[in-house]
Chain A
């Protein structure tokens, strides 16, 4: 794995009104890494993910994505950065009025000058990659939850992004489909070297996939642990980390 950082977060602080969600958070994600953001509900994982993919701007601090400081980027620079980013949202976010083909082809038509024939080939190849061959003319409503997730992943990968962000990709999937998604994520990461940043609570996938994790906590408004998840589970002294990885109740906080 390449140790060169693709994301650098420095002293990120974010506030909603008077409430501070994250304070002085700093970490790095290496190129080609499968990196996960963990923590209890409401600790700011999804907020942090939205900062990393440019959907939110922090109150202070810097986020450098692939060499560009996106906290200071203008609209054009941000658009260039976002072309190198793919996002898979928790609720798949496929456009319900478009077919699966149109959903995946949309960024290709908008951002490239490829011929319709070439776009057709790319879309079909992406569909085969996510194990949905032949589904190009289906509407999103005609697919199951797991199939929609995979179609959304194909759309997120349409422009061959350097970075893929996932927000709770396993939420609502049955164990078999979740395991299939694990295999898909791993094979894309291995074959294409795409960096993956994943927000999740799915312990099996955390231990199966993550090369490095950070764990956020509401009480400190930041990171309480980071590193290899198996090592954290075995060696962490922090009760919250131990309880999280061992799926133990804390008795409320």
Chain B
């Protein structure tokens, strides 16, 4: 111990190190060296890779100067490709060669990689101006030698290898994609509005079962997560603000702080972000997968309008449930704040609720619901639009699903900024 009974920093650190060593270090040593039933981990890591036994053999016989026979026997397969190639190269490299006979009568297993090894041997020795011939070719070996094309690697690719674009090309491509995307979104929004109007004018044409299904998926199924996050946000906001407000005896204002923050801003935004993550991505993935499986083409072929059939029910369902989810989120956050107020700040539940009621106006709640409706339209709209942009393959579905979430969150923030300014003047 140091002065005044406090632990000195040095002593504290050394004690901590000692503790750490005693608890973790000894355990590690035990695991590495002394654990009797299992092999030592250290030993496993440091163990050299097993030396593979070669299953082929090579033997050279000189008939005359420059005239050589290479006897190959055993198994030549994919596993032996590297070794066989280098062994054959080294065994022949110091020999002056004019004529090389490769006797493969002793080969008892030859696969396509083994055949490639023989072709490579032939090519390398031919490059040294030796004439290479194969002897002792069994019927089985003849079959595989005839099947494979020894010149295959000389065939040029039909299209050149794709090279990563340089920075200027990337910038140009990004700009082009951004402009394309902008016009595609505009065009989709136009089509979606027309389809929505058409459906609302002829309500019987609307697929109400789908609307109910997506209301359940986007709304009811989201209740647990939205409730949990909201109550935790209420708790955190109330607790953090109470630490400051307590110093001024202003505990009661925790209630209005939580209510105003949640109803005006955080409730709509947080709910929208959660819905974008849960449902916006699901909409994009669902429609995208339908495109990959030709289901959207099937709809078109049957005379259905895919946007009206697939996007409108999702849009309508989301616009209905997101404002309700926002109200639910607000209530749970206020409940979280109430718990902190009653348990930690000695407020009564009645006074907390009274302060909450005074803190928010009806206008704030209505504005919050309108905002949520707009956010819902953006989430469902961009989710469906990204889904329709999928062209093919799993990768494309993944790309556009991600894009649906990112774009939705970006648009939500932009729209929220616009609302902040507009509502300031409207009020």
Contacts and interface: CB of A to CB of B under 8 A. Distances in A.
A96 B393 contact: yes
B78 A125 contact: no
Contacts of A193: 140
B152 A191 contact: no
Contacts of A187: 147
Contact of A114 (B81, B152, B161, B392): B81
B149 A125 contact: yes
B68 to A, nearest CB: 25
Contacts of A120: 153
B186 interface: no
Contacts of B147: 129, 187-188, 191-192
A115 B158 contact: no
B200 interface: no
B265 to A, nearest CB: 40
Contact of A122 (B113, B157, B159): B113
B112 A129 contact: yes
A112 interface: yes
B162 A128 contact: no
Nearest to B141: A191
Nearest to B158: A134
Interface residues of B, number: 33
A112 B348 CA distance: 71
Interface string A173-192: 00000000000000110111
A117 to B, nearest CB: 9
A72 interface: no
B111 interface: yes
Contacts of B81: 112, 114, 118
A34 interface: no
Interface string A40-66: 000000000000000000000000000
Contacts of A140: 393
Interface in A100-141: 112-115, 118, 120-122, 124-129, 133-138, 140-141
B77 interface: yes
Contacts of A136: 157
B82 A128 contact: no
Nearest to A158: B78
Contact of B78 (A112, A188, A190): A112
A191 B144 contact: yes
Contacts of B146: 191
A171 interface: no
Interface in B147-173: 147-149, 152-153, 155-162
B183 to A, nearest CB: 24
A96 B112 contact: no
Nearest to B140: A193
A124 B120 CA distance: 14
Given A97-B395, A112-B78, A115-B82, A128 B112 contact: no
Interface string B365-385: 000000000000000000000
B81 to A, nearest CB: 6
B120 A125 contact: no
B116 interface: yes
A113 B113 CA distance: 13
B82 A96 contact: no
Nearest to A112: B78
Contact of A127 (B144, B152, B396): B152
A159 B78 contact: yes
Contacts of A160: 77-78, 111-113
B160 A137 contact: yes
B390 to A, nearest CB: 11
23 contacts: A114-B81, A114-B82, A115-B82, A122-B116, A124-B155, A125-B112, A125-B149, A126-B112, A128-B155, A129-B148, A133-B152, A134-B157, A135-B158, A136-B157, A137-B158, A137-B160, A159-B78, A160-B77, A187-B147, A191-B140, A192-B112, A192-B144, A192-B147
Interface of A: 96-97, 99, 112-115, 118, 120-122, 124-129, 133-138, 140-141, 157, 159-160, 187-188, 190-193
- The 10 A-B pairs of least Cβ separation, nearest first, read A96-B393, A191-B143, A128-B152, A160-B111, A97-B395, A128-B149, A191-B147, A134-B158, A133-B155, A125-B152
